[in-house]
Structure 1
Amino acid sequence: MFVFEESKSYLMPAFFGVGEYNPNAIAVANDVTTMVFTLTTNGNLLSNFLPAGFQPLRPEINIKFVQLREVDFLTGGSYNLIQIEVPVRFSGTHDQLEGVFPLVIWENNAEPIISGREQSGQPKIYADIEDLNIYQGKYFTNACLQGNTFLHLEMFNPQPVSQQQFEQIKSSSVNSNVFGWRYIPKVGGPGAELSQPILYPQGMKLYGAWMGKGNFSWIKLSEDFRYRIFNYYDIVKTLAEFPVYSLAPVQIYKGASILRPAAGRVLK
């Protein structure tokens, strides 16, 4: 009979062996390109999508494209992601923290999706996400589902930031509070077996930063996607309907990312 050991950590399927739990474990991606679009929107509307304990710090949404290469936990492999996040404050009975709360994260690799959902409460689902295309000063990428593009991102002629700006961005990137909500539904009925706020510490070692003009566009998915299990249609439709009052200069960062899942914990 297989017996679970409390001193070890398991992922499904759990019955084929498991690594020893390492309380100091980190996950490093050594070559990371990040492109960030920051838009100002309706703060009251944003609040409707944040669970109890979280409040928007600013009426902003970040659309973040991240291209990860030389990923240690993928044996040097790679993946891309698009993260839609809100700067927030968490106010609990014990914890008082500021950071970002991802509303949805699309990734094009199942391995980080599985671990990020189960362990760290990150709202990860699958999409086809192109590598960043660079041509004649234009940087662009698309996110698609079964051949249907639902998000296009583009940036033009990025220029290096000043040394002062670089040092500020570098300093603020060393440690980041990324929040999540781990929700496990009940089997065979409504309600949750587990529903809890999560802290997932991360960081970035910054090598360079640039700014430039850019645009993004949401493309409504076909009605055929309305009833898929992960509600792709409604997610895209909802995000596309957020009002855009202003769009900040688009930022591109180069560096290495450090994920700290072992330092994650349930917020109180």
Structure 2
Amino acid sequence: MTDARDPLPDLSPGALFSCAGQVAIVTGAGTGIGRVSAAALGAAGARVVLAGLSESEPQVAADELVARGADAVGFDCDVTDAGQLAELIETTVARWGRIDTVVANAGAALDRPGAEDALERMDRMYALHVRAVAGLAERTLPVMADGGGGAFLVMSSLSGLRGNRVLSGYGVTKAANAQLVRNIAVQWGGRGIRANAISPGVIATDFARPITADAAAAEARLAKTPLGRFGTPEEVAGAVVWLASPVGAFVSGQNIVIDGGTLISD
């Protein structure tokens, strides 16, 4: 405990939010929130593995980070494939010897109202948002714990905290991965692991284009958002760096909502 008479620690942003020396894995890192979160971790000093489907070109995203001075590498990986997931972890440990931060960001909204294959679509989202995240945790948490602990972050969603007319299966599986975070926080806290979820609202990325590019849908959502605008990927990435950094070291088991106030709006 710091006494009021003790010298103040270094409170500069560079110290508080430093991820120097860390090795971070970000899934779904080729585009959108994942790409910007990986870039933010790199800018904070972490060495970053950007994992994503081959069509998202994660190596291109990694090259962008390298051009900015970061130590980064891309890795083609379908996280629902157990073999590819295991190879991702093995390759990371072989390259850098440790894992300190994991950002489980890979996701997809596959709901189609009235579709005959609605349950099959939910199964696919469960495999991506819950089973794959659990598999990622199973493979990374022991490595992180053996290295002294770290941060396991899951990109959940505002859709997991509200009822949904359209994103029903998406919301169910995002609610489930937020609960997985709470379980991890309790089960692994004694070994230095802190686990948290981040639940963005509508963020201006290609993923959210069905809302942001549709005038009627955008107007309806903004009417329910007190700040009256959509979020940006860097506003989510800031929370990723916070939770991965020393200043976030006493936060665990939480679901951080980044939605411009939509959740609490009347």
TM range (shorter): under 0.3
Q: State TM-score, norm by structure 2.
A: 0.27
Which structure carries more strand by proportion?
Answer: 1
Higher relative contact order (Cα pairs below 8 Å, separated by 6+ residues): 1
Q: State TM-score, norm by structure 1.
A: 0.26
